[in-house]
Chain A
Amino acid sequence: MGVLDIDHLVHEVAHLLPSQGPLKDFIHHNTLHAYQHLTFFDAVKRSSIQSKAQCLANSEFYESMLQGFPNSRKLKEYALRDGAHNSNKPTYYRKIGLRRFWQEQSSFEIDRLVQGLLIRIGSSYLDQGIAIWPFPIQSQSLWNAVRELVFNSLFPLIPLNHSTCKRLIALNPDEAIVELLTLLVKDQSDSNDYLLELAYLLPGWSGLIYQAESFPEQWVDQRHVTLKEWLALAALIELGSLYKLFGNDWNPAQRSKESVSEVHYDPQIVNLHKATEWGFYRDILQGIQNNIQNRVQNANPQWQLIFCIDDRNFSLRRHIEAESAEIETFGAPGFFGIDCLVEMRGSKQRVKHCPAPVKPGFVIREVVENSRRNWLFHAKSGTHSFTRGLLLIHLLGIPAGLRLLFGVISPRLVVKRRLNAASRPSRLEVFRRNQEGKKDGLFYGYTKEEAALRVGGILRMIGLTKDFAPHIGVIAHGASSVNNPYFAAYDCGACSGRPGAINARVFCKMANDDEVRKLLQDSGITIPKDSKFVPMIHDTTADIIDVLDPNFQNQGIRATLDRALEKNAKERSSLFAFPKNASLRQAKKHAHYRSVCWFEPRPEYNHAKNMACIVGRRHLSKNWQYSNGIFLQSYDPISDPSGDLLKGILGAVVPVCGGINLEYFFSRVDPEVYGAGSKLPQNVVGLYGVMTGLASDLRTGLPLQMTEIHPPVRLLIVIEQDVQVIRKVFEGSPMVYEWVKNEWVRIVAVNPNGSEMSLFQAGDFVDLTLKDLL
């Protein structure tokens, strides 16, 4: 037997696991990130084999979608020509599991035993605050903690009480896992497969463990755990279960004679998928082309509003611009360049308020005057325990019943909007005091130079470097929802799943600062003295915009915004079962109702139906009535002939918007494997995840209720820039190019001086004539 390179094996396993961190910061990512180096369709098939998932939607779905498009024959023809280098291999192979060797003898009892204890130990060990009595040995690593539990307890931890298990757990995990593999697997060359199967016994949990190992800073209550220990523990429990089920009379796992089974794919399905995508792309590109031809200029804006790039702002911006020609809108990533953690004075937690890949170097302190304690919450959770429960239930039982009754009859009166908390008055310590050094590698606050750098960066990125209006609104967004463990997935993705109120306030405070403006002037951006930046927050569920500046007084914009919000609410309400002929006011009320309704599993549809991202000037999409979601990133191609700005933009837009798109895509394609299934039976565990029922695998991905109306279509990124410049940007950033080359996102370039389009296909740009598709 050769020496096993366990670290290498574990690393390979880790690569294939779902990578979703704790719920509190919901970061959208490509569900199939493990296969990103492959071309899209090849990856989809390979992943569906590994995770036993559906590979794309079924052909009936595509046929019915295609029937909705005019001239779908053309679409199918075009799909055949598009993306020629995708292999259309119909047959793949699936290895037959090693563990089946025991499963068949025990009618799957062994899975239940191993899963049961693993979930119980894992969930308690990682728990972030649900258990009243937390795991007693938190300071040690998982393996050592379990060892202490086994040796110190007078009661047995079944099935780890077998003598062999006790002997092995006394070793360190590296030694133990080697020995376990020799005991459990007959042919050592199968070790890799066995470990993978073990990890895939509970893929969600194993993935979370790996996340906890790789990104401990995501956890409030940090634990020392490694995937290796987890796999060693799983193998150990398996060993104990085998002894329990079969006595001493069992054999190590070995492959049965037929070690692979064939998996067939309908070769048609890829073409149908592409045809459906082209149906949507055709509408989008046509809309853009029409828009370029009917370009309108507006001069002298009174207001400039900077929105988040989020697709939910697409319709709102249209409504606002339609309300008043004096308003100009922009789109930028919703953290507004403020790469910070937020810390509430008195709290030990720091909350990340910038995109997942950005490593924040600064902390913004928030000071809330006269904050109140949430006594009601303490009282409620007190009822879970014995003595307090005995007392509190008698006192609070009947009032709780009444609150429930009124909350069900009239949610808007009883339940508070969650975003109220985000817009509460507080003081932010934005600027660093002199000579204050780093604490834990982080600065408290920014210097003026750092501030100017960030403000200038955003303004240059969106092309707002001159012609400033008297008021510039910086509009962060979040979503109010109650009774929703996925609340973070509804908030701003660029703020790691949080409402971006603080980022907007910090940005405005920086941009309004005289010293910062002076520094900006030196670098070429002159902001007039009477231009004022105003922070705001848009509640996308309730369609309410709150101004976050308590000194701000301007009734004019308020009325305009409210009208636009009502129209936006009305437009959104068509997705819900809401009467079409209802008035604007009713639609707005309904939106508010959804945001505070305990029993509404769909407070809003979030990023569902996101299809495209436009990187370019506003006239590409202004006034365009389109019902699906489009991410809008402002970008001025004329001011960026070198492509440096574009490189920065694509570096953020492609993984973030692409990640959102692909997460919706796969959660829709297979809601049970890639998605989180139905929301209704879900059970929150440890504050970091959800399970279905009392004990199940951790559900990763998005629930059915978020994705059901989303058509699985890859993101179409439309870039308004010269093809040469874009090509240069791709060459300069391999991360972006991997997405593009393998067609995880599709790229269309629009000539900034005309309206010609080119499609990035099989490694190069080719001319795209929309007439071919009509």
Chain B
Amino acid sequence: MKNEFIFLAHALWIWPLAVALMIGILHRASESTVARVARLGSIIYFAVTVIIESVWIYSGHESVEVFRSVPIHVFGTSFDFGLIFDSTSAVFIGVTAFCSVIVVRFSRTYLHREEGFARFFFMIFSLVAGMTILSLANCLVFFFVGWDILGLSSFYLVSFYRRRRRSVENALTIFAVYRFADFGLLFCLLLVNYAIGNEPSFAELMQRSTTQGIPMSFDLYTFFLGIGLLLAASAKSAQFPFCFWMPRAMEGPTPSSAIFYGALSIHSGVLLLIRMEPIWFSSDVLRYALGGIGILTAVCASEFGRVQSSIKGQLAYASIAQVGIIFLELALGWKTFALYHFAAHAFFRSFQILISPSIVADLMDLQNSDDNRVEFSRWSLEGQFGKRLQATFYTFALEEGYLEIFWRSVNGLIKRMVGHVSEFFFSFWGGGLGLSIAVLVIGGAYFGFLSRDIVGIVFAFVQVLISVSAVLDFRSARSVFNRIGISILIWSADFSYLFPKEYHLGLLMILAVLPFWIVFRFLLAKFVDERIPRFGDGYGLFVNRPVETWILVIFGLAVVCVPPGPSFFVEDALLSHVIAFSYPIAILFGLSSTFNGIALMRLLAFIGMGEPLKQSES
């Protein structure tokens, strides 16, 4: 019994990946073949879910079943791909299966004859796989894998119409936000490991919190853990102050918006919070902060939604508001209720987004009917305010709380500050100055004038500067990628300097990155010339050379430490040493990795997407 259960549970996350892979292989096949594979894939997924859930309910749904597989040890850090199946997984898997089987049926007809039919289903199944891993993972590292698969498939679904400038730009914005969510999650992971010991599973955390309790007090540790957790959850679930990204994600075909932003992806922050509940729930500060974010989001987002005059914008904000309430429920400790709320909301919202084009016919029929409630619905609470107050609130809502403007000016600020500094160091004189400072610092450290952590911080800071400059650099595609490489090189050097005994980890980092870096660089040199990469340059590699571009994507992601690339696990091992030593250095390392990811996606978007240049036009 138990073995079959384990087998089924593993099949549940491997199956959608296999289907996605299959569709990837079949991308040149006819539409009906792809549709057939997708249909079979989704129905089998649904059936397996039904079986596994019935077995689980039948065998006493109270219990938390844990399957621990053998941990893999990598240089002192262990990774565990065990699965957990409790009420949370059951609800999340159930909703995922339900929504995905509907969306696949819906899209098979809806996307008929659309360019990128196979690509769409590839992404949908990747998303389902990511969501399944997220729901079943028993530890944060595996959770992280699902988290990133979700982020990437989201990026490619938002930029599904890759010839349109605006959808690619919005996708990039969303990816940047997701990347910061990754950063937050990475810190949670490291800090939890650091506090509790070696890679605790979620089930273990739960047990600890019930038996001996996890002591939490307001100190630096809680502060960083809380920041990481809240950053991860609220960025991924579009909570305050990240509300702005979700309406902008409505660029893909309607069913993808429905499954992503109505049903699944938007709730991944909720799942993270449920899983980490034993950690944060005992801290009053974190609970208040979480509840505060939830209620602030719910109020703001519903206000922004109320003035939206487009149906998808309104639905997006309505979703965010509901997720805010779910956050509040979690902070109050109503976990079961939050789970129910999640399921009801996911069903409802995906339905509404799927039939959002109906709104014209529905409302028009209503306005032409004798239903006098139409008059009533144009009544609004805010309309009763005074003139000044109305104008004030309306402006605030119309500007969507200035959140986008705020993040854009932060972006601009970084651009101005870091951009000038880093450009200076890349110039001839600046390079010389930089080198001499480096010599001084190293010398100072060697002769014992400077302490080790100061030297570490200086180099980590340089590394972040280089990563940021890779984001900002528009000289050429190659130079962007070179900078990513240099930043990783400095990283491993700095690490080896800080931990001479662990120098092999630093070397391992280079080893884990180098092969991918070389291949990527080779392909880049082959396809991309020296022009400034910008959107709509006419490279359009995805159209002209799809296979090579996907290789570029996969190899590039492996370079910038995105799981499941090997460098992610090395990064994890590396940072778990650093975090025990110094928070600032760990944060700088993490930031550098975040910016590397953004730089890479930007580069890939600019060379891969956009209209390929036609020969006939000059």
* Nearest-neighbor residue (CB-CB) of A151 within chain B: B391
B residues 339-398 in Cβ contact with A at 8 Å: 340-341, 343-348, 350-352, 354-374, 377-378, 380-383, 387-388, 390-392, 394-398
A543-574 to B contact mask, C-beta < 8 Å, 1/0? 00000000000000000000000000000000
Q: Is the CB of B356 within 8 A of A383?
A: no
Q: Which of A130, A135, A484 contacts B363 (CB 8 A)?
A: A130
* Nearest-neighbor residue (CB-CB) of A122 within chain B: B309
A residues 143-170 in Cβ contact with B at 8 Å: 148-149, 151-158
A310 within 8 A of B: no
Find chain B residues with CB under 8 A from A214 CB.
none
* Nearest-neighbor residue (CB-CB) of A705 within chain B: B113
Q: Is the CB of B368 within 8 A of A380?
A: no
Q: Is the CB of A680 within 8 A of B253?
A: yes
Q: Is the CB of A389 within 8 A of B310?
A: no
Q: Is the CB of A220 within 8 A of B367?
A: yes
A residues 351-376 in Cβ contact with B at 8 Å: 351, 368, 371, 373-374
Find chain B residues with CB under 8 A from A154 CB.
388, 392
Find chain A residues with CB under 8 A from B345 CB.
393, 397
Q: Is the CB of A405 within 8 A of B98?
A: yes
- Give CA–CA (A24, B360) in the complex, Å: 8
With A136-B394, A400-B348 already in contact, the answer to whether A683 and B372 are too (CB < 8 A) is: no
Find chain B residues with CB under 8 A from A124 CB.
307, 309, 398
Find chain B residues with CB under 8 A from A347 CB.
367-371, 374
B335 within 8 A of A: no
* Nearest-neighbor residue (CB-CB) of A403 within chain B: B351
A385 within 8 A of B: yes
B285 within 8 A of A: no
A residues 110-141 in Cβ contact with B at 8 Å: 120-121, 123-124, 126-137
B77 within 8 A of A: no
Q: Is the CB of A483 within 8 A of B109?
A: no
Further 14 A-B residue pairs, CB within 8 A, beyond A130-B311, A400-B352: A23-B360, A133-B397, A158-B402, A344-B369, A349-B367, A368-B370, A393-B341, A483-B357, A484-B358, A598-B355, A598-B358, A681-B250, A683-B312, A694-B313
Find chain A residues with CB under 8 A from B39 CB.
none
Find chain B residues with CB under 8 A from A131 CB.
306-309, 314
**Main secondary structure on B side of the interface with A:** helix
Q: Which of B343, B354, B366, B402 contacts A377 (CB 8 A)?
A: B366
B268 within 8 A of A: no
A676-695 to B contact mask, C-beta < 8 Å, 1/0? 00111111111100011111
A577 within 8 A of B: yes
Q: Is the CB of B302 within 8 A of A386?
A: yes
A575 within 8 A of B: no
Q: Is the CB of B363 within 8 A of A129?
A: yes
A260 within 8 A of B: no
- Give CA–CA (A191, B322) in the complex, Å: 49
* Nearest-neighbor residue (CB-CB) of A261 within chain B: B618
Q: Is the CB of B373 within 8 A of A680?
A: no
Instruction: Looking at the assembled complex, report how far the CB atom of B94 sits from the nearest CB atom of chain A, in whole angstroms.
Output: 10
Q: Is the CB of A130 within 8 A of B308?
A: yes
B166 within 8 A of A: yes
A272-286 to B contact mask, C-beta < 8 Å, 1/0? 000000000000000
B461 within 8 A of A: no
B603 within 8 A of A: no
Most buried by B among A153, A158, A346, A678: A153
Find chain B residues with CB under 8 A from A398 CB.
343-344, 347
With A397-B348, A683-B311 already in contact, the answer to whether A577 and B112 are too (CB < 8 A) is: yes
Find chain B residues with CB under 8 A from A368 CB.
369-370
- Give CA–CA (A681, B171) in the complex, Å: 14
On chain B, which size bracket covers the interface?
Answer: 35 or more
Q: Is the CB of A383 within 8 A of B387?
A: no
A188 within 8 A of B: no
Instruction: Looking at the assembled complex, report how far the CB atom of A150 sits from the nearest CB atom of chain B, in whole angstroms.
Output: 8
A residues 583-615 in Cβ contact with B at 8 Å: 597-602
B274 within 8 A of A: no
A771 within 8 A of B: no
Q: Is the CB of B322 within 8 A of A393?
A: yes
Q: Is the CB of B377 within 8 A of A381?
A: yes
B161 within 8 A of A: yes
A390 within 8 A of B: yes
- Give CA–CA (A686, B251) in the complex, Å: 18
Q: Is the CB of B252 within 8 A of A400?
A: no
- Give CA–CA (A635, B405) in the complex, Å: 63
- Give CA–CA (A149, B316) in the complex, Å: 25
Q: Is the CB of A601 within 8 A of B110?
A: yes
Report, nearest first, the 5 A-B pairs whose CB atoms are least far apart: A397-B344, A401-B347, A346-B370, A152-B391, A386-B302
B residues 278-318 in Cβ contact with A at 8 Å: 298-299, 302, 305-316, 318
B62 within 8 A of A: no
- Give CA–CA (A489, B397) in the complex, Å: 34
Find chain A residues with CB under 8 A from B356 CB.
683-684
Find chain B residues with CB under 8 A from A397 CB.
343-348
A396 within 8 A of B: yes
Q: Is the CB of B370 within 8 A of A344?
A: yes
B330 within 8 A of A: no
Q: Is the CB of A681 within 8 A of B340?
A: no
A429 within 8 A of B: no
A325 within 8 A of B: no
Q: Is the CB of A384 within 8 A of B315?
A: yes
Residue total for A at the interface (Cβ-Cβ under 8 A): 93
Q: Among the listed stretches B10-18, B100-108, B430-438, which one makes contact with chain A, having 4 or more residues with CB under 8 Å of it?
A: B100-108
B interface list, Cβ under 8 A from A: 98, 102, 105-107, 109-114, 160-161, 164, 166-167, 170, 247-248, 250-255, 298-299, 302, 305-316, 318, 321-322, 325, 340-341, 343-348, 350-352, 354-374, 377-378, 380-383, 387-388, 390-392, 394-399, 402, 405, 534
Q: Is the CB of A153 within 8 A of B394?
A: yes
Find chain A residues with CB under 8 A from B322 CB.
389-390, 393
Find chain A residues with CB under 8 A from B105 CB.
408-409, 599
A299 within 8 A of B: no
Find chain B residues with CB under 8 A from A597 CB.
109
- Give CA–CA (A155, B362) in the complex, Å: 35
A345 within 8 A of B: yes
Q: Is the CB of B370 within 8 A of A152?
A: no
A696 within 8 A of B: yes
Q: Is the CB of A383 within 8 A of B302?
A: no
Q: Which of B170, B346, B352, B382 contacts A383 (CB 8 A)?
A: B352
Q: Which of A157, A344, A409, A694 contacts B251 (CB 8 A)?
A: A694
A582 within 8 A of B: no
Find chain B residues with CB under 8 A from A137 CB.
391
Instruction: Looking at the assembled complex, report how far the CB atom of A267 sits from the nearest CB atom of chain B, in whole angstroms.
Output: 14
Q: Is the CB of A153 within 8 A of B395?
A: yes
Most buried by A among B325, B361, B381: B361
Give 25 CB contacts A-B under 8 Å.
A126-B309, A131-B308, A132-B305, A158-B405, A347-B369, A371-B370, A384-B318, A389-B321, A390-B325, A400-B348, A400-B352, A598-B358, A599-B107, A601-B112, A678-B114, A681-B160, A681-B253, A683-B310, A685-B309, A685-B311, A686-B310, A693-B166, A694-B316, A695-B310, A696-B166
With A344-B369, A386-B298 already in contact, the answer to whether A684 and B359 are too (CB < 8 A) is: yes
Instruction: Looking at the assembled complex, report how far the CB atom of B159 sits from the nearest CB atom of chain A, in whole angstroms.
Output: 11
A378 within 8 A of B: yes
Q: Is the CB of B361 within 8 A of A484?
A: yes
Instruction: Looking at the assembled complex, report how far the CB atom of A417 sits from the nearest CB atom of chain B, in whole angstroms.
Output: 12
- Give CA–CA (A141, B350) in the complex, Å: 38
Find chain B residues with CB under 8 A from A257 CB.
none
Q: Is the CB of B112 within 8 A of A687?
A: no
- Give CA–CA (A297, B254) in the complex, Å: 53
With A154-B388, A684-B311 already in contact, the answer to whether A394 and B344 are too (CB < 8 A) is: yes
Find chain B residues with CB under 8 A from A351 CB.
368
Instruction: Looking at the assembled complex, report how far the CB atom of B232 sits from the nearest CB atom of chain A, in whole angstroms.
Output: 25
A482 within 8 A of B: yes
Find chain A residues with CB under 8 A from B111 CB.
680
A421 within 8 A of B: yes
Q: Is the CB of A346 within 8 A of B359?
A: no
